[in-house]
Amino acid sequence: MKAVPLKAFPRSQTRRSGARKVRAAGHVPAIIYGRHTQPKPLQVPVKDLEKLLQHTVAENILVDLDVEGDERPRRLALLQDIQRHPLSGAILHVDFHEVAENEKVTVYVPVETVGEAIGVKTGGGILEHVLFRVKVRALPRDLPEQIVVDVTNLQAGQTIHLGELPVPPGVEVLGEKTAPVITVAVPRGEEAEAAAQAGAPAEAGAVEMIREKKEETPAAETKEKPEAKDKKKEK
């Protein structure tokens, strides 16, 4: 994952009234924190932040923060959280999670599909996307923006599991490897119809066998009729 450069400035006004002044000046209140970093209030030009978000479709955004006047001119960080106004959608606050170049991080990555599954196209199946996001671990710059799965050759009844996802080198997919991610399901109506068709001949055959047994039953084994019993009494 490529880090996007972003300019930031120290922020001294941390109260609510101070945050309003920061926004009025065309900046967004922000904070950066991390495993080896004490929380540090920042402010970012709103135009730069909006431009970054408009040109990035990835769920995880890696930024190369250039903090003015900082003891470290560059800070590698993930854009962790964005707070927006519920009505206007304006950005109110952002959180940056500082990461180290040589330490692996754990994030959720979206799973996307390409192609039309043959089990859907010719087999009458339905493509079911079970997991839309999966948890992965990798070095910050090795993180994939998304995991793309080609489902073209997926037959009806087949499933792609968590352990079968195509990921770049250095990326580990976390979780139960046998968990289903994408599957081509067969509609229940078709399953019931197939089962009914398979069971129909067997039922018909059973009826015929019963009829044959009845026809083959000897007359001596049948019970005496009431009329025969009456004749014996008269004698």
| pLDDT tens series, the chain, 235 aa | 899 999 999 998 777 778 899 999 999 999 999 988 889 999 999 999 999 998 887 889 999 999 998 888 789 999 999 999 999 999 999 999 999 999 999 999 999 999 999 999 998 999 999 999 999 999 999 999 999 999 999 999 999 999 999 999 999 999 999 999 999 999 876 555 555 555 555 444 444 444 444 455 554 444 444 454 454 444 4
Q: Residue 17: what pLDDT? A: 78
- Reply yes or no on domain 4-99 having CATH 2.60.40.10: no
Integer Cα distance of 137 and 62 in angstroms: 15
Neighbours of 28 (CB within 10 A): 25
Going from N- to C-terminal start, the domains of the chain cover: 4-99, 106-185
Q: Residue 31: what pLDDT? A: 95
- DSSP 8-state secondary structure symbol assigned to residue 219: G
Q: Residue 210: what pLDDT? A: 44
Which residues are within 8 A (CB) of 156 and not within 5 positions of it... i.e. 6 or more apart? 119, 120, 123, 124, 125, 184, 185, 186
- DSSP 8-state secondary structure symbol assigned to residue 163: G
Q: Residue 218: what pLDDT? A: 52
Cβ–Cβ < 8 Å for 30, 11: yes
Q: Residue 55: what pLDDT? A: 83
Q: Residue 190: what pLDDT? A: 56
Q: Residue 72: what pLDDT? A: 81
Integer Cα distance of 189 and 197 in angstroms: 12
Compute the 3-state secondary structure of the chain and give helix, strand, coil in percent, each to the nearest 5.
30, 35, 35
Q: Residue 169: what pLDDT? A: 95
- Cα within 13 Å of Cα(11), Cβ side: 28
Strand partners, 97: 33, 78
Beta pairing, strands 27-34 & 37-45:
antiparallel
Q: Residue 207: what pLDDT? A: 43
The domain 106-185: what is its CATH number? 2.170.120.20
Q: Residue 7: what pLDDT? A: 95
Strand partners, 44: 28
CA–chain centroid gap for 89, Å, is 26
Tokens 């799965």 belong to residue: 149
Type of residue numbered 153: N
End-to-end CA distance of the chain: 110
